[in-house]
Structure 1
Amino acid sequence: MSTETPARATQSPARGTHGRPGLPTGPGPAEHGDAPDPRPRTTGRPSLVFCDVDETLIRCKSAVEFLPHYFERHHGPDDARRATELLADLTGRVARGLPREEANRIYHRAWRGCPVARVEAEARRWYEERSRSADFYIPATLAALRRHQAEGAPVALVSGSFPPLLWAVVESVGAEYALGARLERCGPVLTGELIGAPAIGEGKRLLVDQLLARHPHVDPADCWAYGDHPSDLPMLHAVGHAVMVAADGSHTPVRRPAAVGPADG
């Protein structure tokens, strides 16, 4: 994954969405409420689909769950407790105004000195175990991605989550692209630093814009995006069809802001 060159996933959409743990085989529940139906409909024009991961496509915060899990398995309960305390401290600091982008960088620094191969293997093991839960994926979002894929639209997962976790989800749902920062390495271990900006807020929009630039035949107005948090709005506003995913899994369309003219400042 890279902020410069989007990485292709190793599975095609036709293979990636069936027979994996936690992936429902039937259509997702119908979205409810009085808002217009946000389910994708084909226009016959090429498009790209951008989707956040945590609490948009899957119900949990993967990076938050994985940090104490890893340290419990490989360093013991004391380090797992310290990881949990770090996460609680970051949550409090964000509530008091720490930018989410900075909190994301601090989170990744907790991985300094960890062996890359061990971390990647444990991330895949965590995903395989965690995704066995029947409610791991949000059915309405997964069903929407399947409809896009059936229409031939490539899917890009855009996330500031821990990169090895993002890859596990990308491969399972058959997404075409994984968009996020890369982990800096020093030989076989992680340095705790990111290469590129965190994929949060404007960082997500930058990744979306970069991928769109690689597909000049695709009109952003024909593209779709899914998110769950106000920090996803820059990404959602970059395309013509945007959907906000609520805590209960329901989908609500998001309108693009009106263009600001010179007279409006």
Structure 2
Amino acid sequence: MLGHVEMHPPAYRSPHPSPRTAAFFDLDKTVIAKSSTLTFSKSFYQGGLITRRAMLRTAYTQFLFLAGGADHEQMERMRSYLSALCRGWNVEQVREIVAETLHDIVDPMIYDEAASLIEEHHTAGRDVVIVSTSAAEVVEPIGKLLGADRVVATRMVVGEDGCFTGEVEYYAYGPTKAEAVKELAASEGYDLSRCFAYSDSATDVPMLESVGHPYAVNPDRALRREAVLRDWSILTFERPVRLKQRLPGLSMPTRPALVAAAVGAAAATAGLVWYASRTQRTGKRGVFARV
């Protein structure tokens, strides 16, 4: 049975609620303008975790990702490379790097349009769930930053020595995203026919078709074709903005809060867009994290 990680008290629920609904958001190029984990390569280089050559390689990968995304074969090649790259990284060190640099790196990349949608869904009484192939150690703090209720993300295995083994525990990619959405709907009582989903990638078609209201956001060519064929709405997000600029009164989490948001998990690798993790020290965590 998959567990939930509590990061704050659950919101009040009416004793006689109507069927619950949720809005499921892909993260990279849907809510934020770049790859959430590839963007951390400079921070990992400065922290001594990767070489300058590896940093430049992840920068090039970021360019390719922004230019046209990556098909399944390209993603698998990168997955193998990045698995070898992060093997042996100390969890505590990478957690601190992510916590220290999260706001400077991620906050300026958040699409204003996506932040507005998240607010609208919350106002309508829907849960907001980030469903991302990116590593949980980056996605969970970003989810907290955005005010998301839960995240579903890729997880890696952490060994007894507190370091990444390079193995994958849960891979949130393609059909497994749709499976996670359906499992979460079953456990939380979401009526998927009334739920929403947003993504930029054709690899997320299974997730999009699992809800009643799918949206293609800044779609790649394959997803645009699919959206036209299926008569799905197509949205264009193009205004990255800092949350502090959008919401001057917003109280941003402190560094300890960000570390707590990772809840003992390893931090993301320099481009670990396709990886998974296991809870360090206390053992295996559930796929779903409540932020």
TM-score, scaled relative to structure 2:
0.64
Listed as ranges, the matches of 1:1-265 within 5 Å are: 5=2, 7-8=4-5, 10-11=7-8, 45-75=19-49, 79-85=51-57, 88=60, 98=73, 100-101=75-76, 103-104=78-79, 106-133=81-108, 136-187=109-160, 188-196=162-170, 198-215=171-188, 217-246=189-218, 254=227
CA distance in 2, matches of 1:205, 1:5: 15
1:9 and 1:176 in contact (8 A); partners too: no
Asked if the contact 2:21–2:126 (Cα under 8 Å) also holds between the matched residues in 1, the reply is: yes
In 2: Cα distance, 1:176 partner to 1:9 partner: 10
- SS state of the match for residue 32, structure 2? coil
Aligned residues with identical type, % of pairs: 22
Q: By how many angstroms is 1:98 displaced?
A: 1.4
**Closer, same or farther in 2 for the Cα pair 1:89/1:174, shift >3 Å?**
closer
Runs of 4+ with deviation above 4 angstroms: 11-14, 86-92, 94-97, 252-258
C-alpha separation in 2, matches of 1:210 and 1:85: 36
Q: What is the CA deviation profile of residues 133-190 of structure 1, one whole-angstrom value per residue up to 9, with x for unaligned ones? A: 2xx1111111111111122211111111122110111111121111022221112111
In structure 1, give the amino acid aligned to 2:7: T
Query: 1:207 & 1:234 partners in 2: Cα distance?
Result: 11
Does the 8 Å contact 1:237/1:257 carry over to 2?
no
Question: Compared with structure 1, are the counterparts of its residues 223 and 169 closer, same or farther at alpha carbon in structure 2 (3 Å cutoff)?
Answer: same
Given that 2:136 and 2:152 are in contact with CA atoms closer than 8 Å, whether structure 1 keeps it comes out as: no
| Alignment CA distance shift 1:9-1:55 (3 Å) | farther
CA distance 1:47–1:172, shift in 2 (3 Å): same
Q: Give per-residue Cα distances to partners, 1:17-45, cap 9 Å, x unaligned.
A: xxxxxxxxxxxxxxxxxxxxxxxxxxx64
Which residue pairs with 1:18 in the alignment?
none
Structure 2 residues without counterparts, runs of 5 or longer = 12-17, 232-291
| Residue 129 of structure 1: how far off its partner (Å) | 1.3
Mapped partners of 1:45, 1:213: distance in 2? 12
The size of the alignment, in residue pairs, is 215
